[in-house]
Amino acid sequence: MLAYIVRRLLLIIPTLFGILLINFLIIQAAPGGPVEQMIANLEGFEGSATSRVSGGGGEVASGGNYRGAQGLDPDIIKEIEKMYGFDKPAHERFWLMIKGYLQFDFGDSFFRDAKVTDLILEKMPVSISLGLWTTLITYLISIPLGIRKAIRHGSAFDIWTSSLIIVGYAIPGFLLAILLIVVFAGGSYLDWFPLRGLTSNNFDQMSTWEQIGDYFWHLVLPIFAMVVGSFATLTMLTKNCFLDEIGKQYVTTARAKGLSESRVLYGHVFRNAMLLIIAGFPSALISIFFTGSLLIEVIFSLDGLGLLGFEAAINRDYPVMFGTLFIFTLLGLVVKLIGDITYTLVDPRIDFDSREG
């Protein structure tokens, strides 16, 4: 097991390198880089810098090179390129970026006047709050519900709970979030919950218990909007895994030995049925952390990592884009490894060394 973990950790290095390289090459072909945006701003254009800059008689190339500008001094253009590091060839910029990442130095944001590391640390609590509580609540409800549905398969309970979770799955999270704001956050009806932010303005003046209550009070609506659509997949996966295991021969044998239904279910079936569910945990957690919460962050004015990465992509803030990509990828690979290790905790019969052999 130790050898397997070491190999997986070593494999993270080329995987990270490959992902960063592919995305770097894609970015080089994308129009509207920071140099073009700065030139457009200096020439007084308010629109997107991805289009041709025609006011000075020149145009912006998609590869990041500005081809002539009659209204802008070429020396100024060179200074802008130097300021953003575009005075160096692409391969040199990539290697400088990799050298910095080896020391977890992601550089400075082009437009926020702050270090990328500081920005990520600043936004991390919001994403951790949304991802952690959403994942925890989803698993605490979906797994027992899926087990119950498997035990009572075909009953009225199974049918109406399936109907409810499918309806919840069909409602987009952002649409439900808007509905919750309209109904419960002072939109048109009730004013029970705060509309924006993770804490109140006077949070620092509250006592410890008041701070805890205020924190969870702000989380109620966004977490509810994210959780409702998350039940269906995990609940049905749990149910189907248990149904598949319940029909196997070893369950019949255990019942024939006189074991109670609870002992058969949780002593034998549970360990085998949970393997597939555990396998999907890392991807579900990372998805909720960094992608599933984007629209929720926007709607509830929660300034987290999802919103940070989205704004960086729109503004072509390359240091923030690649810094968040590096962090997201690294966390995803590490969590995936943790999921594999958890396999052995649930079922010690699994041997990764013999599987690879």
* Residue 191 phi, psi (nearest 5): -125, 60
Encoded tokens for 155: 């009953």
Q: Are residues 208 and 325 in the same domain?
A: yes
CB-based contacts of 315, cutoff 8 Å, min separation 6:
37, 110, 111
Instruction: Judge whether 170 and 231 are in contact, CB under 8 Å.
Output: no
Q: Are residues 13 and 149 in the same domain?
A: no
Instruction: Judge whether 196 and 220 are in contact, CB under 8 Å.
Output: no
Instruction: Judge whether 18 and 29 are in contact, CB under 8 Å.
Output: no
CATH number at residue 192: 1.10.3720.10
Encoded tokens for 20: 């960063």
Instruction: Judge whether 66 and 58 are in contact, CB under 8 Å.
Output: yes
CA distances from 305 to 71, 83, 182 (A): 38, 26, 26
AA letter at 290: F
Q: Are residues 47 and 83 in the same domain?
A: yes
User: pLDDT tens string for the chain (357 positions)?
Assistant: 778 788 888 888 899 889 889 988 888 777 777 777 777 777 664 344 444 333 444 444 444 444 444 456 777 777 777 777 777 888 888 888 888 888 888 888 888 878 888 888 888 888 888 888 888 888 888 888 988 888 888 889 989 998 988 888 888 888 888 888 888 887 677 778 887 777 787 888 888 888 888 888 888 888 888 888 778 888 888 888 888 888 788 888 888 888 787 788 877 787 777 776 776 666 666 666 655 567 788 788 788 887 787 788 888 888 888 888 888 788 878 877 877 777 776 666 666 665 554
The confidence score (pLDDT) of residue 290 equals: 58
Q: Are residues 21 and 164 in the same domain?
A: no
CB-based contacts of 26, cutoff 8 Å, min separation 6:
none
Q: Give the domain-ending residue among 68, 89, 109.
A: 109
Query: Count of domains in the chain?
Result: 2
Find the domain containing 315 and state its range: 117-356
Encoded tokens for 300: 């509830």
Q: Are residues 275 and 141 in the same domain?
A: yes
CA distances from 52 to 43, 49, 169, 315 (A): 12, 7, 43, 17
Q: 3-state DSSP call for residue 59?
A: strand
CA gap 310, 11 in Å, rounded:
28
Q: Are residues 100 and 51 in the same domain?
A: yes
Q: Are residues 48 and 95 in the same domain?
A: yes
Cβ-in-10-Å burial (0-12, 13-18, 19+) of 280 comes to middle
Q: Are residues 326 and 242 in the same domain?
A: yes
CA distances from 95 to 102, 170, 318 (A): 11, 45, 15
Please indicate, yes or no, whether the overall pTM of this predicted structure exceeds 0.95.
no
Q: Are residues 46 and 153 in the same domain?
A: no
Q: Are residues 24 and 85 in the same domain?
A: yes
CA distances from 228 to 137, 156, 165, 235, 292 (A): 10, 21, 8, 12, 12
Distance of CA 172 to the CA centre of its chain: 17
Q: Are residues 126 and 249 in the same domain?
A: yes
Q: Give the domain-ending residue among 86, 109, 132.
A: 109
Q: Give the domain-ending residue among 56, 83, 109.
A: 109
The strand pair at 59-60 and 66-67 is best described as antiparallel
Q: Are residues 138 and 217 in the same domain?
A: yes
